[in-house]
Amino acid sequence: MLKPEPTRDVVFLLDVDNTLLDNDRFKADLDARLRRDFGVDQARRYWALYDSGRIELGYADYLATLQAFREGLDDDPDLLQMSGFMLDYPFAQRLYPGAMAAIEHLHTLGTPVILSDGDVVFQPRKVQRSGLWEALQGRVLIYLHKQDMLGAVQRRFPARRYVMVDDKPRLLAEMKQVLGARLTTVFVRQGHYAEEAVGVVIDPPPDLVIGRIGELAEFDLRRFGL
């Protein structure tokens, strides 16, 4: 049973993929491995299954996609190496420059917490392999749809104010509509979701926009409007 947490002044909620680490780079490396071992057509089939599963589930599940991908490939000697490639992938090498410095700095301003979407196996593994789990001292929350879990977040980490740092401005807007003035939203322009948001009207817009996660290492509480 979880012990009740004290009410903090500020909790910093940090997304993982394309916020703290370059998940687009991981996907590119995965695609290259699939093409090398199984050919272009099979690589395309993997990503078609991935997209279908993401639409159905509402989140990315690389391992579930691999399970579906095995159909017709059970006798391929390279198939059993793919799970190891994913689970042992060097995510620590995919952290954005300045990500760890930003986390270290946020510890001096409040309580940083990872708040991520994802499955219950691969996403925690990614957080562990990257070193983020240790850097956040185990304060890691992973939900299927984090924007729907703000009540649970507040129970786990009660605070007077929250700061959400994410690469998806629409998600930030959804969370702002729920928490209102208690939440400061920070949009990090990294990764393909950020690129797709260029020119799109977001209501409400992010409170802050930064170009890279490392910029947070230079922020004080006033920069967050706190």
> For the segment 118-128, what is each residue's pLDDT rounded down to a tens digit?
999 999 999 99
Closest CA to 27 of 4, 51, 8, 2: 51
Cα 100 from chain centroid?
Answer: 15
One domain for residues 108 and 215? yes
Domain limits at 80?
Answer: 24-91
Of 91, 115, 140, the residue that ends a domain is 91
Domain finish residue from 60, 91, 122: 91
* pLDDT at 172 > cutoff 80: yes
Instruction: Write out the E strands in 62-220.
Output: 111-117, 140-143, 159-166, 183-188, 208-210
Query: CB count, 10 Å around CB of 102?
Result: 24
Whether 116 and 76 map to the same domain: the answer is: no
Is residue 77 domain-shared with residue 146, that is, in the same domain?
Answer: no
CB atoms within 10 A of CB 156: 16
Specify whether 49 is located in the same domain as 119: no
Q: Are 111 and 223 in contact (CB under 8 A)?
A: no
Residue with more model confidence, 196 or 125: 125
**Same domain as 164, residue 70:** no
Question: In 3-state terms, what secondary structure has residue 127?
Answer: helix
State the average pLDDT for the chain: 93
Query: Quick check: is 1 in a domain?
Result: no
- pLDDT of residue 184 exceeding 80: yes
Domain count, the chain: 2
* CATH code (residue 130): 3.40.50.1000
- pLDDT computed for residue 200 by the predictor: 75
pLDDT band at 176; cut points 50, 70, 90: very high
Question: Is residue 149 in a domain?
Answer: yes
pLDDT for residue 1: 53
Structure confidence at residue 11 as a pLDDT band (50, 70, 90): very high
CB 208 within 8 A of CB 185: yes
pTM beyond 0.85: the answer is yes
Q: Are residues 136 and 166 in the same domain?
A: yes
**Mean pLDDT over residues 159-173, rounded?**
96
